[in-house]
Amino acid sequence: MSDNGKTTVRMTIDGRSIDAPVGATILEVARANGIDIPSLCYHPGVEAFGACRLCVVEITKPNWEGWKKLVTSCLYPVEEELIVSTRSEEVIENRRVVLDLQLARVPDSDVIRQMAAKYGIHDTSYEKRKDADTCIMCTICVRVCEAIGANAIATLSRGPEKYVDVPNIDACIGCGACALSCPTDAIPMTEENGVRHIWDKDFELVRCEVSGEPIGTPEQIKHFAEKSGLPESYFTKSDRQRKKETAADLARVMLG
């Protein structure tokens, strides 16, 4: 709620008048209204970081006398009378520069190649990184791991040498959330014969006690049970199975 007690603000995005919830960011409101703003380091499950600058948009207000500025939409909160352009010339040029630079960083990333191609960039104008992996240093994996409470992943070194790794492999619970949330598939994870392999470590896979489908690692189940206060048995069933049981419980209650 804003200082004056209002729960929404009236703003404009690409000419559309929108009532946006107070406290939301421009990116959240745009996406909730079907307006596309590309992003690389934004993940809805973790705090925004503002690192990639791909989500930049142009803003102004009626009393700014024509003055405009570029802001990162994943961090900038909506405001009354804000006028946002997600497709101005400056915004498009900013995206082109960001993607050109990212293409130099990860020339072999299909995701970045496809995004850059949408803006007419088929080869980078910068020097390509040698022996490059596909990590764009968005740090989503680090923030997701932190949010889960495992704190196994960290950024190491500085400047252009910076990279992500698992300095304390014992802290890794093998949940795979980092690999699943990585926008460029830079964290290899395989599952074979009941074993998950990630960060150069093997984790046994526990199977759902009802359906038999693999549901996670023992370390992951123990960790989630400790964090949530729920019994480990709650995590030894697949999501699908739990939903089925909840639906059956509900039906029993509703039908008496």
Residues that bind ligand FES (CB under 6 A): 39-42, 50-55, 72, 74
Tell me how many degrees the CA angle 225-227-228 measures, rounded to the nearest 5.
65
140 contacts ligand SF4 (rule: CB under 6 A): yes
The closest of 176, 244, 179 to 208, measured between CA atoms, is 244
Token couple for 77: 């909160």
Amino acid at 128: K
141 contacts ligand SF4 (rule: CB under 6 A): yes
**Closest separation between CB of residue 111 and ligand SF4, Å?**
9
Taken in order 69, 74, 80, 81, is the CA torsion positive or negative? Answer: positive
From residue 93, alpha-carbon distances to 54, 61, 80 in Å are: 10, 22, 27
Tell me how many degrees the CA angle 131-135-137 measures, rounded to the nearest 5.
125
Taken in order 55, 56, 60, 64, is the CA torsion positive or negative? Answer: positive
Find which of ligand FES, ligand SF4, none residue 115 binds, CB within 5 to 8 Å per kind: none
For the segment 45-64, give every residue that binds ligand SF4 (CB under 6 A): none
**Closest separation between CB of residue 135 and ligand SF4, Å?**
3
Nearer to ligand FES, 23 or 194 (CB): 23
As a whole number of Å, the end-to-end CA separation of the chain is 41
* List 187, 198, 215, 221, residue binding ligand SF4 (CB under 6 A): 187
Nearer to ligand FES, 72 or 236 (CB): 72
Nearer to ligand FES, 137 or 150 (CB): 137
Contacts (Cβ under 8 Å, ≥6 apart) of 140: 41, 43, 46, 178, 181, 182, 183
Nearer to ligand SF4, 43 or 196 (CB): 43
**Closest separation between CB of residue 85 and ligand FES, Å?**
16
Find which of ligand FES, ligand SF4, none residue 53 binds, CB within 5 to 8 Å per kind: ligand FES
**Closest separation between CB of residue 116 and ligand SF4, Å?**
16
Site string for ligand SF4, 157-186 (x = CB under 6 A): -------x-----------------xxx-x
Find which of ligand FES, ligand SF4, none residue 141 binds, CB within 5 to 8 Å per kind: ligand SF4
**Closest separation between CB of residue 244 and ligand FES, Å?**
36
**Closest separation between CB of residue 40 and ligand FES, Å?**
5
Contacts (Cβ under 8 Å, ≥6 apart) of 90: 58, 68, 70
Cα–Cα distance measured from residue 94 to residue 157, given in angstroms and rounded to the nearest whole number: 27
Token couple for 224: 């989630």
The closest of 15, 139, 11 to 76, measured between CA atoms, is 11
Residues engaged in binding ligand SF4 (CB under 6 A)? 135-141, 164, 182-184, 186-187
